[in-house]
Structure 1
Amino acid sequence: MTTTHQVHVTDTNNRSRGLMSVDIDFDDVGPCLLTHDGQQYVFTHKSGLNSETGVAVREMASPSDARLWITLDATCIWED
């Protein structure tokens, strides 16, 4: 089921883009499909910890290979 979340987004230059509406589907662990900035992203099965915050994140990719990292609770996105 898709739900809309207000997510804090940070761009590739580590600048805040503020809160943005993102449509997200979750699996048992975290986000697995999302729509952000007009593009659809799917979980790449790569996960880890954000090096600055230590928070668990997942990598997501669009068909055009745009990438981002999102926290498991979908509160923050870092565009890559």
Structure 2
Amino acid sequence: LEPNGYTLDVARSGTVGLRSATSASYDAIVLDLSLPGTDGLDVCRLLRQQYHISTPVLMLTARDTVQDKVSGFAAGA
């Protein structure tokens, strides 16, 4: 994405990602489900329900079951 002119921020834990997502404005958020601290589903759920952030969230993960997909959509991805 950077070669196309996008600026990226990286958070290596769900806790840091949540802090970043609630303190700055982003065009999109890419979350892994398996983040240390607070997992990606909880981060997404908190962004939607507690912080009312409507930034598009994409789940990028190795998990691929139907239940994983349904859980991601239910969380707000």
TM range (shorter): under 0.3
Relative to its length, the structure with more strand (as a share) is 1
TM-score normalised to structure 2 length: 0.27
Larger Rg: 2
TM-score normalised to structure 1 length: 0.26
Relative to its length, the structure with more helix (as a share) is 2
